[in-house]
Chain A
Amino acid sequence: MESDNGNSIYAKFANGEPVLRVSGLKKSFGTHVVLDGFDLVLTKGENIAVLGRSGSGKSVLIRCLVRLTESDEGIINMLGLDVPDLGQDALDKLRAEIGFLFQSSALYDSMTVRENLEFPLRRHSKHLTQAEKDQMVQEALDNVGLSDTADLMPSELSGGMRKRIGIARTMIMNPGIMLYDEPTTGLDPVTGRGIGKLMLEMKKKYNTSSIIISHDMGCVKQTADRIVVLVNGRCRALGTYAELEKSEDPDVHSFFE
């Protein structure tokens, strides 16, 4: 099965075709240069992990991809669209094809878990009945192993539970492209592996493509087809886990020790 709604832009791309192309991406905050000519190509059906030290600009990178942060310079082409030039309506339409997991989970405090998960649904899928929505919510909660939390408020959840609800909320729309900011940070190893497995299942089932930011090498090894290492705002190395593990470059090698 392809991505769930047939009229999505993502579904029109063939396997292995690039769905995201980034080139020469630059972003500074005042005089502080964060991204300094970053390049990346993500093909359909592929998971790419981004490694980088804390503060190296990983979160800024994926925020630029969806225009939560405006980039200064460079090309971002997602699903054939030039992201920096899109108008609001076109941008909203593109964003509907993208799942974004925030590093901080960013659950809506004033809503229950159920309302959190329904929020993206009721915006985009007005044709869904309440029963269908309920079922999708339940399925998403089952996926992250939190079936009986639907009526709790986010403040009643632990950090790891919030993260998992965040993942459920990201996945519920079955978006084509997933951007995960540290999906397993703050989870115990068993749950972390469960999340990794879930990410792989999503990929297999819906043929999603993902960018995964993570410090958890277990998760990276489990989920990523290729890895980029972000150093000084540029792509320092790109390759499979096995390739980079053998790298001589100390900046790259240090992640694999």
Chain B
Amino acid sequence: MLINKTGEINHMYRERYRLLLPNTMTKRPSIFKQWFEETGNLSAFAGRYLRDSLRPPYDFGELLRQAFEVGYRSLGLVAITAFIMGLVITIQSRPTLVEFGAESWLPAMVSVSLVREIVPVVTALICAGRVGSGIGAELGSMKVTEQIDAMEVSGTNPFKYLVVSRITAATLMLPILVVIADAVSLWGAYIGVNIKGVVSYDLYVRQVFDTLEYSDVVPSIIKCVFFGFAIGLIGCFKGYTTTKGTEGVGMAANAAVVVSSLVVFIIDLLAAQITDLLNLN
């Protein structure tokens, strides 16, 4: 009997068909509930950011400091990665194109895939790692050592001072980082093109700019605004809501990286769908 007299699902069947039954019937500790709670809290956090970021007074000093922290301090890492990406993608793509006798398409093809997809996502992932974990750990340790409480009790709005400045900085700096990374990666690709072939600098630049259109560049930069917002938001959320002492700080930093990396891919997927729907390609 699947259902016994009291209306409950027979224990044996419940174990066997656990995966097929709805969650409430199997009495598993609900991951879904946790997930919904967390998502709800994150949305409330984002709502508070939107509200507080529009309300004066604005703290430009702190915003600049954070922009420096997010942007300038990530620049080296982002540039090196972008250069290598440009170089490697070019080297890897050449054999296929040569096979089809389309070697002269190399700059065009590589530049589109770099600018539209590879550079934004790789840059965002690097920032999720560097900036997300940094924010998560910093705010987390401020939380557990009562520094955030101290700000709160001195009548300063710590949310505004700490969170709004960081999220705004990440949102503004990521697109800028990506534009720079785009340029560096195209330079890497130029070197890649010239390893086995000879394409003059002028010809390369002309080919790249003939191929790239606004519809390649603009959506990819808009996408980065959302990447930056997500990285800042999740880092701040995880840090600001840390509990459980020092252990919690590590967990916050860790969760910030994992969740924001995942969210970067989800946003990327959505962005691809939306550009597709709007027929921008």
A66 to B151 Cα, complex, angstroms: 12
Chain B residues with Cβ below 8 Å from A63 are 149
In the complex, B150 has a CB within 8 A of chain A: yes
Known interface pairs A104-B145, A109-B145. Does A124 touch B155 (Cβ–Cβ under 8 Å)?
Answer: yes
Could you say which residues of chain A place their CB within 8 Å of the CB of B138? Answer: 110
Interchain Cβ contacts under 8 Å between A and B, 7 examples: A88-B157, A92-B155, A92-B157, A106-B147, A108-B150, A108-B151, A109-B145
> Smallest CB-CB separation from B152: which chain A residue?
A68
Q: Is B200 interfacial (CB 8 A cutoff)?
A: no
Report whether A106 and B154 are in contact in the complex, using a CB–CB cutoff of 8 Å: no
A-B pairs with beta carbons under 8 A, tally: 50
Q: Does any Cβ of A come within 8 Å of B273's Cβ?
A: no
Q: Mark A108-121, 1 if CB is under 8 A from B, else 0.
A: 11100000000110
How many residues on chain B are close to A (CB under 8 Å)?
15
- Establish whether residues B149 and A106, one from each chain, have CB atoms under 8 Å apart when the complex forms: yes
Does B31 touch A at the CB level, under 8 Å?
Answer: no
Q: B8 contacts the other chain (Cβ, under 8 Å)?
A: no
A122 and chain B: residue at smallest CB distance: B156
Q: Is the interface of B mostly helix, strand, loop or mixed?
A: helix
Q: For B156, give the chain A residue with the smallest CB separation.
A: A123
Of A2-10, A94-102, A222-230, the one contacting chain B is A94-102
Cβ-neighbour of B147 out of A92, A109, A123 (below 8 A): A109
**For this complex, into which size category does the number of interface residues on chain A fall?**
20 to 34
Are B155 and A102 in contact, CB atoms less than 8 angstroms apart?
A: no
Encode contact with A along B147-183: 1 for CB under 8 Å, 0 otherwise. 1011111111100000000000000000000000000
Interface presence of B142 (CB below 8 A): yes
Whether A106 lies near B145 (C-beta < 8 A) is yes
- Inter-subunit contact B154/A102 (CB<8 Å): no
**Would B146 and A106 count as touching, CB distance under 8 A?**
yes
Contacts of A123 in B (CB 8 A): 154-156
Say yes or no: A102 contacts B142, CB within 8 Å.
Answer: no
Task: Digitize B19-59: 1 where CB-to-A-CB distance is under 8 Å, 0 elsewhere.
Answer: 00000000000000000000000000000000000000000
CA distance A92 to B154 in the complex (A): 8
A93 CB within 8 Å of chain B: yes
Query: Distance in Å from the Cβ of A64 to the closest Cβ of chain B?
Result: 12
Partner of A66 from B146, B147, B153, B157 at Cβ < 8 Å: B153
Given contacts A100-B150, A102-B150, A106-B150, contact A119 B142 (CB under 8 A): no
A120 touches B149 (CB 8 A): no
Q: In the complex, A93→B138 CA distance in Å?
A: 28
A93 to B155, CA, bound (A): 7
CB distance from A99 to the nearest CB of B (A): 9
Interface string of A38-79 (1 = CB under 8 A from B): 000000000000000000000000010010100000000000
Bound-state Cα–Cα, A107 to B141, Å:
12
User: Are A95 and B155 touching (Cβ within 8 A)?
Assistant: yes
Complex CA gap A88/B157 in Å reads 9
**Residues of chain B lying within 8 A (CB to CB) of residue A102:** 146, 149-150
Rank and list the top 6 A-B pairs by shortest CB-CB distance, nearest first: A106-B146, A106-B150, A120-B154, A96-B155, A95-B155, A92-B155
